[in-house]
Amino acid sequence: MTTPRVSIVTTVYDRVACLQRCLRSMQHSALADWEQIVVSDAPSPGVVAQVAALVAGAGTRVSHLNLGRRANDWGMTPAWAGLRAARGAYVCFLSDDNAYLPQHFTPLVDALDADPALGFAYSSCRYAGRTVLNVAPPQGARIDLGQPLFRRSVLLDAFPSGLPSREFAWDWRMIGGLVERGVPWRHIDAQTFIFRLAAYPDVVRLLA
């Protein structure tokens, strides 16, 4: 089996309709070499079956991992399980209600390829139909977990035992922890990550 360059970890919390749109968005990606790992947080058997059916219909690059027990911790445990299962040199976290535009990965992969010292590169974000997140350097509440493409080895080296705190803002703790450690980053100011895809009907139609 060929090892993908990029692993997309998608956490799903019982929202099957959202997941369908999310999976569809990756089918439009200009990136050719990727895998998508869908991690469900031990929902009911009926939801597990629906998620599995969507994944099976999304092609061989998409797989499904269901947690053995409910974590209910804002997606942190599912995200970390997906990271552990990821095979790509680069990894990102795409929640079930969000999406990437087709050209999202090209400049991020190019940046990481060009500079081996970079720990992550991140895009700008169209946020819930309300604003744009395009802050540099990264700041709490001004960057979403879906924006960065991380070097997987950097995350595993920085947090060998998993994330240090179980809280609502765990995603910022992770990104902020990398910044505090002096991990180099780069911002690509292109609005290619969509937070709350349903708030952008034009994008939903584009990715249909």
∠ at Cα 86 (51, 155), nearest 5°? 125
Torsion angle in degrees (nearest 10) through CA of 176, 181, 183, 184: 80
Q: How confident is the model at residue 1, as a pLDDT?
A: 62
What's the chain's average pLDDT? 95
Q: 3-state class of 19 per DSSP?
A: helix
pLDDT in tens, 48-95: 999 999 999 999 999 999 999 999 999 999 999 999 999 999 999 999
Give me the domains of the chain, ranges plus CATH numbers: 6-206 (3.90.550.10)
Structural contact between residues 185 and 119, judged by C-beta atoms closer than 8 angstroms: yes
What's the rounded Cα separation, in Å, for the pair 99 and 94? 7
What's the pLDDT band for 161 if we cut at 50, 70, 90?
Answer: confident
In the block, which residue shows the tokens 């879906």?
146
Q: Which two tokens stand for residue 96?
A: 């079930």
In the block, which residue shows the tokens 């991990």?
183
Residue 160 vs residues 78, 152, 153, 157: alpha-carbon distances, Å = 16, 12, 10, 6
Q: How confident is the model at residue 164, as a pLDDT?
A: 67
Tell me the whole-structure pTM to 2 decimals: 0.96
What's the pLDDT band for 15 if we cut at 50, 70, 90?
Answer: confident
What does the buried/exposed string (b/e) look like for 67-101 if buried means 16 or more CB atoms within 10 Å of the residue's CB?
eeeebebbbbbbbbbbbeebebbbbbbbbbbbbbb
Q: Is the peptide bond before 4 cis (omega within 30 degrees of 0)?
A: no
